[in-house]
Homo-oligomer: A and B are copies of this chain.
């Protein structure tokens, strides 16, 4: 046995490990979060740690420069324990937190986008209108001649006051009833869920209670979480927050998470990672900010993808990833937050936006609601670009959806200098067509440290426009910034090491470009396949709504230039922010919105692309800049 000491952000975690054990596995056992997007397959090169003392069996690796290796940097997934070691682990929590900065209402742009969506929902009659409300009830005081039990007395008063015949009391309400009535002169404030057929009393409070009726809307992403704490009476946002999904150390994508969950104890590990490590701290933060106890949260609406929903509930998720791709549920009702250990009000319902397929989940049904495409006659395309890419095509008469394995390229995965849209990320770029000198926009105004999704789109589009890369993504011009390694692989340098303050240049190479072309090709071919299934073509699309972690910085013209989105006038594209969170917010505030999302979930067609003949051909055809069929991109291929 060896003693492994992990140092993370000022704290130290020690664990005993066997010789030969994989360091990433040891870290997972010790509950130490290491960013491992490819879940330990040695592919992504992101699970870097630094050996401070002791030894590791960890050979040099293409993901590390000689200087990095000599400075002690290792890939955790490629290192084996051979004795005691002290290991520094970069703090990824802060990376998690800022990851959603473009889509969690922390910027004025996001807030404006959110308010616009809210207005459209309100115009459609959706907001507000929750079944949850306060109901102040004055009861006659009991006498010897009218000595019915307190619960019947309350039900009688509510029946008389509301006309609702069927009244139910929760156990919590019963437990508090006698004391609250007598402490409050028989006039109390009930927290009720008032549905047409049945009125349920969730709790009883003193008449003068001033705590708000609160709810939480949560976007549970594969990578990140974003949440709003809302006053259910007014719709006012009491607090907002975001954080990382602690499951990330078990893989960046849903497939690796499911594989991990199928290992012994895996379901519990994955569930704890998201509930104990991620959601609970976020709830605590939201409630602390709002200055009201967690017990005053009476409902939580959560929008997550199908896999996230299953892992959240501790379900066996393996069947989702294996043909015929069958999840445990699309819709499930009657969940309580306490069922999964969330310390809200004991009667707080946990509402999950419904899934509609193994890879199109509640984040998309909730997002579809807030896109409003279901409410308009024009043919619209709604694209959510997060860790995965999901698309919905349709209008107020029909909706069709599909998911494509875009990999995490839009979040900087699979890209050598890729990173999430956090401080130091190149998020936008122009390149002089003559000199090929770049002009960079960097998140936080820092020195450039890497490239995030919107930046990659810009770089590829600009290089293509300048004729520096050809349709296959190969560098075909010479220049100071264009380098070739000993194998002949070309790369384009955006920032020299001296400008970055890091250990190497920030560059994009031909493998990166190829990876990204495959990702954009997946998005385009998914669009094309849906259109073909409907006997339509891209020119018939009237509106495109882009949502998700790619952020409001996305340059739509450039995305068309590289052939990611269909070639329609740029004025018809909109970025609509974190549509999942907006949808969850609407479901929290409006029973009508909740019903509408359920209806969308039931009525939307789900296309499993891998089952569609011709999809692979469409994908291959789209893996070209902008497309092998130039006629599809008239504005680009003049």
Contacts and interface: CB of A to CB of B under 8 A. Distances in A.
B149 A326 contact: yes
A144 interface: yes
A112 interface: no
10 contacts: A144-B611, A147-B324, A147-B325, A149-B326, A149-B328, A150-B328, A169-B332, A171-B313, A174-B315, A174-B328
A319 B143 contact: no
A166 to B, nearest CB: 12
Interface residues of A, number: 43
A477 interface: no
A327 B171 contact: no
A319 B150 contact: yes
A378 B453 CA distance: 87
A124 interface: no
Nearest to A606: B147
Contacts of A330: 149, 151-152
Nearest to A339: B171
A179 interface: yes
Interface of A: 142-144, 146-153, 168-169, 171, 174-175, 177-179, 182, 313-319, 323-330, 332-335, 339, 355, 608, 611
Contact of A329 (B150, B325, B327): B150
- Give the 9 A-B CB pairs with smallest separation, nearest first: A178-B316, A179-B316, A151-B329, A147-B324, A144-B324, A142-B326, A178-B328, A150-B328, A149-B329
Contact of A175 (B174, B315, B327, B333): B315
Nearest to A319: B178
A517 to B, nearest CB: 29
A168 B611 contact: no
A323 B319 CA distance: 62
A182 B178 CA distance: 49
B144 A175 contact: no
A398 to B, nearest CB: 20
A316 B150 CA distance: 11
Contacts of A147: 324-326, 608
A179 B315 CA distance: 9
Contacts of A326: 142, 147-150, 153
Given A179-B316, A313-B175, A328 B148 contact: no
Given A316-B179, A319-B182, A174 B329 contact: yes
A327 B150 contact: yes
Contacts of A171: 313, 332, 334-335, 339
Contacts of A150: 319, 326-329
Nearest to A146: B324
A608 to B, nearest CB: 8
Contacts of A339: 171
A150 B310 CA distance: 12
In this complex, the member of A144, A168, A179, A328 whose beta carbon has the largest number of chain B beta carbons within 10 angstroms is: A328
Given A144-B608, A177-B328, 12 more contacts: A143-B324, A144-B323, A150-B327, A151-B329, A169-B332, A171-B334, A171-B335, A171-B339, A174-B332, A178-B317, A178-B319, A179-B316
Contacts of A318: 178
A235 B573 CA distance: 68
A153 B148 CA distance: 46
Nearest to A152: B330
Nearest to A357: B147
In this complex, the member of A316, A317, A325, A339 whose beta carbon has the largest number of chain B beta carbons within 10 angstroms is: A316
Contacts of A149: 326-330, 355
A175 B329 contact: no
A327 B153 CA distance: 11
Contacts of A327: 149-150
Given A150-B329, A326-B147, A314 B611 contact: no
Nearest to A169: B332
Nearest to A333: B168
Contacts of A174: 313, 315, 328-329, 332
In this complex, the member of A149, A175, A330, A608 whose beta carbon has the largest number of chain B beta carbons within 10 angstroms is: A149
Given A174-B313, A178-B316, A328 B151 contact: yes
Contacts of A177: 328
Contacts of A148: 326
Nearest to A326: B142
A306 B152 CA distance: 15
